[in-house]
Amino acid sequence: MAAVLDQDGITAAALELVSKKGYDGLTMAALARSLGVAPSALYNHVSSKDEVLKLVEEDLMSKVDFGGFRTLPWEEAVRQWAYSYRGIFARHTPLISVIAVLPVTDAPQTLAMYEAVTEGFLRAGFPEKQIIPSIVALEAYIFGAAFDANAPADIFDSGRLADSTPHFTSAVRSLGPDQNNYPSDLAFSMGLDALITGLGALRVDQSG
Amino acid sequence: MAAVLDQDGITAAALELVSKKGYDGLTMAALARSLGVAPSALYNHVSSKDEVLKLVEEDLMSKVDFGGFRTLPWEEAVRQWAYSYRGIFARHTPLISVIAVLPVTDAPQTLAMYEAVTEGFLRAGFPEKQIIPSIVALEAYIFGAAFDANAPADIFDSGRLADSTPHFTSAVRSLGPDQNNYPSDLAFSMGLDALITGLGALRVDQSG
DNA sequence: TGAGATAAATGAACGTCATTCATTTATTGG
DNA sequence: CCAATAAATGAATGACGTTCATTTATCTCA
């Protein structure tokens, strides 16, 4: 029969659906409808909805910018990579629990990213043994920050319990004229700087 | 009618159910069964399954150990808090996407924690404006690390693509005798040290 | 050219969920 | 003691992922 469907098409349709309706709107039925096909037809090309999520994840990984590791100083490369990584997955947080536990074995785009990042760390003078833990630590931070990026502005509103949390409430108010001012971007920048400084100290050769 | 049910009982039953069957086993039907009640009866005490998750989350928050902020040097207090926080939520990752976006307004335990942590930061000499972003950054890292803690040991197995990712594959192998050795704990420790060092530098008065 | 073999799409069906609602049951307050 | 109320029931609903027997179209090869 004429192949109306393939994994690339499914991936593209899933991405478009997610961007329009969010992850709640990503159902097998909706996905099939957007492809003009019956839901059961999808199962000739993917084994489950989980596989659809993996396909989407791999596609997103290919969009993460790790090019700086070839051209920029290590600190700048990490920063560029981290911002790009967080920016992409902030809009795809439901995938994070999938990625964080997903073996890279069948994820070529993810592997390509790790290879480039590892090379960058080597060039920057990191001892081989420190590289994977450093990347893991950075990724943990990036994933956590991606969640944060979706928090509502009033997430730290202590409400009627403000009286019993005076120091916290005051610290929140100190952030800006708005009573509730969620500092997701500022926090990301601060923590990233701290990580870059702290991890950078592990380098043996600081010339990279 | 005799109140067989209340929010505390529901929370306790949900926690026990999760510890025995995981979050897949936490269904409204299973929860009701464990309480000897019909599923619909739950809705007299909680408005939705999401509220059950929020109740569980608050209960877990009360178990996070932030006592060090009253007694230990700032670095040690942060370390203790972070380890406790990660240890608890590593077994409850499905809650993380809920927490990260949940306003603290109706979460007294969470607020209590923030108040204590904020006080610790103040005592340690942090400028008020830096405190919330620092806590947010630490929390992002802790949440991301909680996901990591559940990764399988072979998550970095590059499989048949090992040849095309030589530096990465070698870096993974350098970690230990096991071919695939996932360094979740080591990574957490390294990143946490880096964050503590980097954020600690923001202090004005280093005596705390 | 024509006859399988095969890959792909269909539609009906299933089981699992969370959730709703009319009804029943037990307790409490006036 | 009665009425109001809080709480539990069981049946029903709709959404969802997934399966499967069946049909349909294309490809291969004699």
CA triple A28-A34-A36, angle to 5 deg? 100
- Among B129, B144, B164, the residue with its CB nearest the CB of A144 is B144
Which domains are present in chain B?
7-46 (1.10.10.60), 61-200 (1.10.357.10)
* Two structure tokens written together for B125: 């000499």
Q: Which residues contact A26 (CB under 8 A, 6 or more apart)?
A: A14, A17, A18, A52
**A 69-88 residues with CB below 8 A of B?**
none
pLDDT score of B84: 98
* CA neighbor of A134 nearest in space, from B180, B80, B195, B151: B195
CA A29 to chain centroid, in Å, comes to: 27
CA A31 to chain centroid, in Å, comes to: 23
Instruction: Report the distance from CA of residue A32 to the C1' of nucleotide C14 in Å, as an integer.
Output: 20
pLDDT score of B4: 73
Q: Give residue A7's pLDDT band: very low, low, confident or very high (50, 70, 90).
A: very high
Q: Give residue A207's pLDDT band: very low, low, confident or very high (50, 70, 90).
A: low
**pLDDT digits 0-9 by tens, A85-121:** 999 999 999 999 999 889 999 899 999 999 999 999 9
Return the percentage of chain B with pLDDT > 70, whole number. 95
Cross-chain Cβ contact B144/A197 below 8 Å: no
**pLDDT digits 0-9 by tens, A111-168:** 999 999 999 999 999 999 999 999 999 999 999 999 999 999 999 999 999 999 999 9
Q: What percent of the residues of chain B are helix, what percent strand, and what percent coil, each to the nearest 5?
A: 70, 0, 30
pLDDT, one tens digit for every residue, chain B (208 residues):
667 789 999 999 999 999 999 999 999 999 999 999 999 999 999 999 999 999 999 999 999 999 999 999 999 999 999 999 999 999 999 999 999 889 999 899 999 999 999 999 999 999 999 999 999 999 999 999 999 999 999 999 999 999 999 999 999 999 987 656 678 999 999 999 999 999 999 999 666 5
For residue A111, say whether its CB is under 7 Å from any atom of strand C.
no
Q: What are phi and psi of B144, to 5 degrees?
A: -60, -40
Q: Give the C-alpha separation, B54 to B57, whole Å.
A: 5
CA-derived radius of gyration, chain A: 21
Q: What are phi and psi of B151, to 5 degrees?
A: -70, 145
**A 114-153 residues with CB below 8 A of B?**
114-115, 118-119, 121-122, 128-134, 136-145, 147-148, 150-152
CA A7 to chain centroid, in Å, comes to: 22
Question: Which residue is nearest nucleotide D11, judged by alpha carbon to C1' distance?
Answer: B40
**What DSSP line would sit under B24-79, residue for residue?**
GG--HHHHHHHTTS-HHHHTTT-SSHHHHHHHHHHHHHTTS--THHHHS-HHHHHH
